[in-house]
Every structure is written in structure tokens, then in C-alpha cells.
Amino acid sequence: MAPSIAPRRLRPALRAVTATAAAALVLSACTGGSGAAGAGDTSGNQLLTIPREDLATFTRNFNPLSPQAAPMTIQAVYEPLAVHSMADAKDTPWLATKWEQAKDGKSLTFTLRDGVKWSDGKPLTADDVVYTFELQKKVLGGFDYLDKVTAVDAHAVKFSFNKAFSTAFYEISGHYILPKHIWSKVKDPAKFTNPNPVGTGPYTKIEKFQSQSYELRKNPDYWQPAKQQIAGIQMLAFSGNDSANIAFTNGEVDWTQSFIPDIEKSFVAKDRKHNHYWFPATGAMINWQLNTTKAPFNDPAVRKALRMAVDRDQIT
């Protein structure tokens, strides 16, 4: 599979407005958008406009437990304990500052970052993390290896496993965290649309929500205010790739991952100084997951043979 293309448009007066504002979001200079400043403004009052060519309409649903959750629910509103980069295989502390796995591989303890607040001003605590994973297992299942999650103290959480599980860190650390004081009052978490979300992310305030557009504005209590270098994000819905590309080449969109045919001619050639695209150095991650309850993968000798057959130097 070919890597995705991430074209972007860079206006001369806005070249300084580049930042990483959320764990999974790439930000570039902005062309404007509803409520944004003019092209000559570099004050950080711009909106980053992003299209979704796979959604003709939006539903006001910011429930990360729902398969119908609106775009940017997890990327901008909620955050994980740590961020793993496929590009360099590095783990960056996020809501947690450090972690330690037991020598027997049966537990993992995270220490939470001090001073993190939810967007309603209440502090992030270990109880929020415990509740998040209890809710996840109740509503969506999964985490079969997880025996229990306990709050060691207000800023430390211990995950205990029913067996040694050396790779649990990547699944647990990358999971979004929810506020217990909000979700514990919800009668049916699976069906809750969460129209006005409370999160720890950089852009949590929902404004001007319509069926084909909405804005996410700054979280006033974000723990990394220096990284909120734009006023917010504007999402636009399109009925398909063609209409999204027309909007992009017309300057109505700032950044996209949609497929653009003959990108050099249809996009770059129109303004070589400011129109750019980037192919990520890494493609999609391929997971090899074996059902060890069924033959032949329930045989350790078979699994060992498969492991030995993989040339790790060649594929990494």
C-alpha cells in the first residue's frame, strides 16, 4: 500500500504559524476559514481547515466510545498517557510522565503529570484513568489480559495483568482518558452523544456546529498552552474526494490527506512556492496477530518457527 499524501498550502505571511498541537495532528500555516484572521495575520488567530471527503454530513457526537464519533474527537479533545511514534519508535510522555513494568511482566504502573486539568477546570486524577478502562471493558470489551486497574495514589495508576504481557504498554498508553466526574453520571455511555465534550486536549470547545462544518476552539485550561498556536480547527464535510480536492486547490482548505491525482500538475504547479506535499517515511503499520487458542498457532514450536523466519533487520 502506498503511503498517504499530506499536501499543504503555505501562505507567505503565515509561514511562522507551524506547530504540533495534538498528538495525532499535523498543523501547517492556515489560509483562514470562518472566523479566522486575514492572510497577513500571524497572531495565532487562524483556524486550520481540514476536509473529510468520506463524510457527506457530520453528526454532533463526540463520544470516543461510539463508532460514529465526529472527526478530531480523539485527536483534539481527548489525550493518551503517552504517544508512540512509528517514524522513530520513540515514546513521548503525555498525560503520564513515566511508567514502569514489573520484572515478571504482570503489571505496569504509570505516574500522571501534575497540573493537568480537564477543560471544565477540574484536575486529572488517577481515578479518571481507572474509570476509563473500567468503562472501556464494560462498553466495548477488549483488554482480556487486564485483571484490574487501581489508583496507587492521586497521581499513580497500576495495571495488573492475569498473565505476563510485555507489549501491554502500547495498547494501554495510547488509549484516550475520560473524566470520571462527567461519564459516571451518564446513564448509557454507549449511546451518549457527548455534544459538549470535556477533555484534556488542546481544542475542546465546539462552536458553529452544522451538518457540513464545525469548529473546535481552544481549551482554556490546556496544560501545553505554548502549543496552541492556532485559534482552532475547522472541519468541512464533502461528498467525495473530487469535491474535497476542488476546495483544496481553490484555497478553501489548509491541509488534507485525500488522494490528489497527478499532484504535481493539479496542485504544486499552481503555486510552487507555497503548495507542497509530503510522503511519510513510514507506511501503515502491519500487525501480525495469532489466535493462540487454535491450531497450529497454539503450538509454541510453530510460533517460535514463525518468529525465527522473520528477518527483523529487513522489515524495520
Q: Give dist(CA 69, CA 303) in Å, integer.
A: 37
pLDDT digits (tens, 9 = 90+) for 138-163: 999 999 999 999 999 999 999 999 99
pLDDT digits (tens, 9 = 90+) for 278-292: 877 665 666 778 888
State the span(s) of the chain assigned CATH 3.40.190.10. Answer: 8-72+201-276
Q: Give dist(CA 41, CA 16) in Å, integer.
A: 10
* pLDDT in the model for residue 134: 97
HSE toward the beta carbon, residue 187, CA cutoff 13 A:
0
pLDDT digits (tens, 9 = 90+) for 191-248: 999 999 999 999 999 999 999 999 999 999 999 999 999 999 999 999 998 999 888 8
State the span(s) of the chain assigned CATH 3.90.76.10. Answer: 82-183
Helices (H), 99-167: 126-139
The mean pLDDT value for 34-40 works out to 38
Q: Identify the bridge partners of residue 96 per DSSP, sorted by sequence position.
A: 112
Q: Is 229 exposed, middle or buried (0-12, 13-18, 19+ CB in 10 A)?
A: buried
**CATH class belonging to 82-183:** alpha beta
* pLDDT in the model for residue 283: 58
DSSP assignment of 188-241: -TTT---SS---SSSEEEEEEEETTEEEEEE-TT-S-GGG--SSEEEEEE-SSH
For domain 8-72+201-276, the question of CATH label 3.40.190.10 is answered with yes
Q: Give dist(CA 37, CA 29) in Å, integer.
A: 12
